[in-house]
Structure 1
Amino acid sequence: MTISHLLGATAARNVHVSRAGRASKVSAGGLVAVAALLAALPFLVFSTVTDTLINLFVLIALASMWNLLAGFGGLVSVGQQAYLGIGAYSVIALADLGVQPYLAVPLAAVTCAVFALPTSWLAFRLRGDYFAVGTWVIAEVYRLLVVRVDSLGGASGKGLTGLSGIDQTLRGALTYWVALGLALATIGCCYLLLRGRLGLSLMAVRDEETAAASAGIDVRRAKLLVYLVSAAGCGAAGGVITVSSLSVNPDSVFSVQWSAYMIFIVVIGGIGTIEGPLIGAVIFFGLQQLLADFGSWYLVLLGLVGIAAALWLPRGLWGLARGLSLFPIGYLVRGPRDPA
């Protein structure tokens, strides 16, 4: 054996490969503590606070699902409100059939995944900008179909049944916990999916679809799976909106504004990272609370923030935290002199 081989073997023995560094492990502990505190909030604060936070949790879930689809899968959709609306109306329909509305929320997610399967057959025939526009058109088609169903309230929408017998305070707490559970579930789902082979496959497809296919990756399967997961997550978010507002309106729930919110949050937070939608949702939620009383200037200021982020922070706010990862999906390789 030559000296170079000996040096190489020695270096290999001194190299340590791990999923997360010490900072990530400490941050993970902090996230668990924050989640526990959030779960206890209904016992600590007034219901007005928890009712407001439901909106934040819905935004986190929606942004995480859009980021999974576009940031990791390369599928830039402007029509995820289709599944938001289908999920919302699924809860209405299931409640009319006697299903408890809170139990209807996960069933709404399953319903959206079922609808997304044939929808993907049509959407995946489009590429690039055509895919983005096509998904928006599909969402409009679903809205027009729902409006024509009289049992769902038609164009005026419909109220939710099945929650009238629950105490208002308890109902607010249950809705809060369901919304929090949705946010945590979407983040955890993204993390688990991206840690495995699917995560590598998705990023390869995002970067260069042809090269990924030539490397043996089943491109269609990877895209289909992430599309179904994203549809299910958005559907569950629609269900939470329904049990929170106790009614649904087709023009509101199928509005393209929801996709605009998702895109804005992911852009300012950091696309292609699990942490980006989290910080982006918090920033967007804060801007909503601070600027909502400014009327049309509220939208102007949001637009200026989005433009500034796109120009000067192409990797989003999370891109400023170089080297830090709260949800490590890759590997860290450290030598004997590198810090842990």
Structure 2
Amino acid sequence: MTPTNPSLLAAQAPTAAPGHALTPPPHTVQRWTGLSRAAVGGVLLGQLLLAGAPAVLDAGALDRLTTLYLYGILALMWNALAGYAGLVSVGHQAFFGLGAYAAVRLADAGVPAYPALLVGAVAVGLAAVPLSAFMLRLKGGEFAIGMWVVAALCHLLVNLDGLVQGETGTSLIALQQFDADTRRLATYWCALAAMVGLAWGVFWLLRSRVGAALQAIRDSEEAAASIGVAVLPTKRLIFVLSAFGCALAGALWLATAVTFQPKTYFSVQWTAYMLFMVLVGGIGTYEGPILGALLFFAVETAFGAAGVSYLIGLGVVAVLFALMLPKGIWGSIERRWGVQLLPVGYRLKLRR
């Protein structure tokens, strides 16, 4: 829904003449509801409980939750780019792989293991700035294919690094200074902090003027530019943010796996996962990718061992959702019942 300025509506509202009662407006513009306030409170409480989860959960459960957090980051980052800015990428595995590679390189240069994960992601985000000067000139299918080409090129260049040893790969050896339990806890809390920080960051960004500008650009770049929206800087901001988020997810995935093999980290399956989570959950909604990540995690947990048939099943489900529920699960719920748990825009409430 197009954001509306409530103060502007208030300024334009009719005033009552002396001695006459003011007629109630036929509608009101709102952002928060009782349900949305309760939902935000519930999310904050849940995040606090998850921070204390290591006190009651076993090692296997912590590993699975860490994986879920990383899936959530990927879904949120891809949706911010495609769902709100209209930049559909099929090559975001480039940033995922580069985040892991940068962490390996920094650790080899003497940077402590866990700081290397964050610094590596920041470095990838900075590298995305000059890359955006070229990529954001492309539109639609050209941008999507261009990102796939970038991912393939990054994969080839990383293979040429002697430290990586081609597809043989290498390891984040610096992690071996920690025992398994310490490493598991540190990685868990880092993944949780990354997911929470990026999720709330995207939430407040979308609620700002930048969020309104992104949606205007998604609908029509020409129309957005005609009303004063800085199209290229706004697109660059969300592009760099999504690159940083995916790179951080890749670096943290390396912390869980320890080993780095380019063909694994630069695989197109990562972007396929992002597509599945966002399309099934609801592209262009804030809650949709979160729901999609939960569903994907549940499906992977139940059927991930099925191998190729599992991947084929994911593809079939994604196609069916695209055809039958193009707005995804949460998008369909929002459209039918008007439910918003984490509102990023304003709503027009008609007075009955």
Aligned to 1:92: 104
Aligned to 2:213: 201
Amino acid paired to 2:266: F
Q: Which runs of 5+ in 2 are unaligned?
A: 1-13
CA contact (8 A) 2:283 2:328 kept: yes
Match runs of 1:1-340 below 5 Å: 6=16, 10-11=22-23, 17-319=29-331, 320-321=333-334, 322-332=337-347
CA distance, structure 1, for counterparts of residue 172 and residue 230 of structure 2: 42
Deviates more, 1:280-289 or 1:316-325: 316-325
Deviates more, 1:25-34 or 1:147-156: 147-156
Aligned length: 334
SS at match of 2:49: helix
CA distance, structure 2, for counterparts of residue 311 and residue 34 of structure 1: 34
CA contact (8 A) 2:39 2:342 kept: no
CA RMSD of aligned residues (A): 2.0
Q: Which runs of 5+ in 1 are unaligned?
A: none
Amino acid paired to 1:6: A
Q: How big is the shift at 1:96?
A: 1.2
SS at match of 1:6: coil
Return the TM-score normalized by structure 1.
0.93
Q: How big is the shift at 1:16?
A: 6.0
CA distance, structure 1, for counterparts of residue 315 and residue 151 of structure 2: 24
CA contact (8 A) 1:120 1:224 kept: yes
CA distance, structure 1, for counterparts of residue 21 and residue 172 of structure 2: 67
Aligned-pair identity (%): 40
Amino acid paired to 1:183: M
Structure 1 residues 318 and 9: alpha-carbon distance in aligned structure 2, compared to 1, 3 A threshold: farther
CA distance, structure 1, for counterparts of residue 294 and residue 283 of structure 2: 15
Q: How big is the shift at 1:110?
A: 1.1
Structure 1 residues 14 and 206: alpha-carbon distance in aligned structure 2, compared to 1, 3 A threshold: closer
Structure 1 residues 72 and 33: alpha-carbon distance in aligned structure 2, compared to 1, 3 A threshold: same
